[in-house]
Structure 1
Amino acid sequence: MKILQKYFSLEIGRSVLFVLIAFLALFAFFDLVGELKSVGHGGYKIQHAFLYVLLEMPGYVYELMPIAALIGTIWALSQFAARSEFTIMRASSMSTAMVGGMLLKIGVVFALITFVFGEFVVPMTSNMAERIRVNSQGGALSQEFRSGLWTKDVIRSNGQEGEVLGSRFVNVRELKPDGKLLNLRIYEFNRNFHLTTLITASSADYAGANTWTLNDGTVANFGESKLQGAITATDITTAISTSKFKTQSLISEMTPEILSVGFTDPATMSAIALVNYTQYLSENNRDTVRYEIALWKKVVYPFAVFVMMALALPFAYLHFRSGGVSLKIFTGIMIGVSFQLINSLFSHLGLLNTWPPFATAILPSLLFLTVAVGALMWVERH
């Protein structure tokens, strides 16, 4: 049994690696062609395009691993069947359950690789790729929005703790890749949603510990009690006090990581980052469904490797001599593409119809697992 396990692992591992490299080469070529139109804009040169495409490859490894596991396993099992090795193995008392157990052990390795790439490698490389693009082109992350970036925060009596005193809305015109904020407007409201303070600043630097340093700005305080009794324009003017500052500290739940999430695909975020950002949105009474779905997909997606390998197992029982392997590979590619399409479709349907995030994430895998079990039962009977 150990010899068979080693043989299966070697053949399937080699096939999966070959398929994965082929897919990566194909996607790298198309991405590089797409990046060529940006070469020459600002300081974006051909070496930046190559580096950007290279840093995007871990994301494709994460996305394509289940499909590569499916096609690679189909290829290896088809070779066993074409050379009658699988028939000999079955004649030597190897049951379907034993084959499934061997595939399960191999799938654990691929699932771990998928998890490591999705949780640790992809968030880092995707962030580096975006920084290279923005820095070389001399741009800012928020320039694509006409009004800049908007975010909401909670004002507490003791910085991050204590009683909630009101709400804070922050408008940032530009967010630099290094986390520096340019041209800020901060609107602070009390619990009755009356405007109490308007702060403007030319820039803000993150000092750590949820503290921002505002530079070169003004503060306008609106005296609520005086404004309520104001009758003339003079009364209104005297009720508003303004002052200028060179530097001023602002304690906020916002961090550069939280602000940059608005420009990040949730699929490239780690599960920990998704948990933190979902909690931040929930505390500020903002919609969290999109990020909850992304979080559950991040948890469920590595297990899709097992589903894909289960789908590959019935192909070992199909004995085609002429052109059989090509037909199986083509079928495997179609199944893999269908899985990706349905997985993406369910994410959008779940977001539109407010389905439970966990159900939205796991239903595609359950659907294909049901197909795999049904196909295996059919080939066993026939």
Structure 2
Amino acid sequence: MRVLQRYFRTEIVRSAVFTLAVFLALFAFFDLTNELSSVGRGGYKLQYAFLVVLLGLPSYAYELMPIAALIGTIYTLSQLAARSEFTIMRVSSMSTMMVAKTLFKIGLLFVVATVLIGEFVAPKSAEWGGQLKLQSKGASISQKFKTGLWSKDVIRTDGTSGDIIGSRFINIAEIRPNGELVGVKLYEFDRNLHMTSLLKATHASYQGAHIWRMTDVVQTDFVNGSSTEDITSSIATKNFKTKDLVSEITPEILSVLFADPDHMSAYNLWAYSRHLTENNQHSERYDIAFWKKLVYPLSVFVMMALALPFAYLHFRAGGVSLKIFTGIMIGVSFQLINTLFSHLGLLNTWPPLVTAALPSSLFMLVAIAALWKIERQ
């Protein structure tokens, strides 16, 4: 029995890895075809196009892992059923529950791989790919905005840990690919939304520990009138060669503004969602993406559960190719419904956890119903 189970696990892993490799090669070909139109613009060379495509593959691997597990499992089970090997395994007292437990153990491997790729590999590779593309073309991130990039921050009594005493609006004319800020303006307000100061800096670079070092700074301080009818007037203007700014905004938070939430790590999504909440901004989109990041790896179990009924279908009821095609359609349907529910949840303000978990729950119910029907036959 152990020999059969070991053979069973090996075949599923081998089929799933092969399926994933085929999908990655296909998507890499499409992406390379798309990138070729940009080759020759600025300093964007052919080798950069290949590298950008390569850096985009981990994101595809994360998204395709459940589908690869589904198709690999369907193919293996269909082959075993076609050669009557699955029948032998059942005769050898291998029940449906034992098969499900075996699939669960195999699924753990894919779940761990999905988490590692989605949390550590894919976000970094996507970021490096974007930076490489910008650097090679000599472009900056915020050139697409007419007024630059805007962000909101809070002012605390003790850096980033004290009580909130005001708010700060940040305008950045340009963000270089290396993270340097160009043309920075800071509008600072007290808790009554009275403007207290305006700072202008030609450049700002991140020093770590929530500290930005600004250069060529012009600071204008204002005094607020005793009543709302009084006009705010300037009382002092100071010039600094360099000035450090303590802010909760980090390069990671700035990069979130241009990144696809579905390609971000769960930690960055959580950090940015908390930042938006503290600044009284809407965070629903990032809350949904955060919970999807936690729930999505578990969809590997759902896909493998959906593949299990295929082992009990007689070979004459459909060839292996038909079953694989059915598996592809199931995987594509899952991706489409998962995306659809994300938009529906955002539009209807559903709880983020419900929005993220509902598609997997529905498909799991379908798998359970299919297994129940097969067991009754």
Counterpart of 1:128? 128
Following the alignment from structure 1 to structure 2, what is the Cα–Cα distance between the partners of residues 229 and 316?
78
Aligned counterparts, 1:112-127, within 5 A: 112-127=112-127
C-alpha deviation, 1:287, in angstroms? 1.2
Counterpart of 2:283? 288
Counterpart of 2:64? 64
Count of aligned residue pairs for this structure pair: 377
Counterpart of 2:254? 259
One-letter amino acid of the counterpart of residue 357, structure 1: P
Question: Conserved in 1, the CA contact under 8 Å of 2:197 and 2:219?
Answer: yes
Following the alignment from structure 1 to structure 2, what is the Cα–Cα distance between the partners of residues 156 and 104?
49
C-alpha deviation, 1:84, in angstroms? 1.1
Alignment of 1:244 onto 2:235: no
Question: Conserved in 1, the CA contact under 8 Å of 2:149 and 2:174?
Answer: yes
Structure 1 residue matching 2:40: 3-state secondary structure? coil
C-alpha deviation, 1:227, in angstroms? 9.2
Listed one character per residue, the Cα deviations across residues 183-235 of structure 1 (whole Å, up to 9, x for unaligned) are 1111111111111111111111112211111111311211213897868xxxx
Following the alignment from structure 1 to structure 2, what is the Cα–Cα distance between the partners of residues 77 and 370?
21
Alignment of 1:217 onto 2:217: yes
Counterpart of 1:343? 338
Following the alignment from structure 1 to structure 2, what is the Cα–Cα distance between the partners of residues 49 and 289?
35
Listed one character per residue, the Cα deviations across residues 136-172 of structure 1 (whole Å, up to 9, x for unaligned) are 1111111112221111111122222333221100011
Structure 1 residue matching 2:146: 3-state secondary structure? coil
Percent sequence identity over aligned pairs: 60
Counterpart of 2:201? 201
Structure 2: runs of 5+ lacking an equivalent: none
What TM-score does the superposition give when structure 2 sets the normalisation length? 0.96
Counterpart of 1:23? 23
One-letter amino acid of the counterpart of residue 320, structure 1: F
Following the alignment from structure 1 to structure 2, what is the Cα–Cα distance between the partners of residues 335 and 114?
19
Question: Conserved in 1, the CA contact under 8 Å of 2:224 and 2:230?
Answer: no
Counterpart of 2:149? 149
Counterpart of 2:320? 325
What TM-score does the superposition give when structure 1 sets the normalisation length? 0.95
Following the alignment from structure 1 to structure 2, what is the Cα–Cα distance between the partners of residues 160 and 299?
28
Counterpart of 1:313? 308
Structure 2 residue matching 1:162: 3-state secondary structure? coil
One-letter amino acid of the counterpart of residue 30, structure 1: F
Match of 1:373 among 326, 346, 368: 368
Structure 1: runs of 5+ lacking an equivalent: none
Structure 2 residue matching 1:142: 3-state secondary structure? helix
Following the alignment from structure 2 to structure 1, what is the Cα–Cα distance between the partners of residues 218 and 278?
28
One-letter amino acid of the counterpart of residue 94, structure 1: M
C-alpha deviation, 1:90, in angstroms? 1.6
Following the alignment from structure 2 to structure 1, what is the Cα–Cα distance between the partners of residues 228 and 298?
61
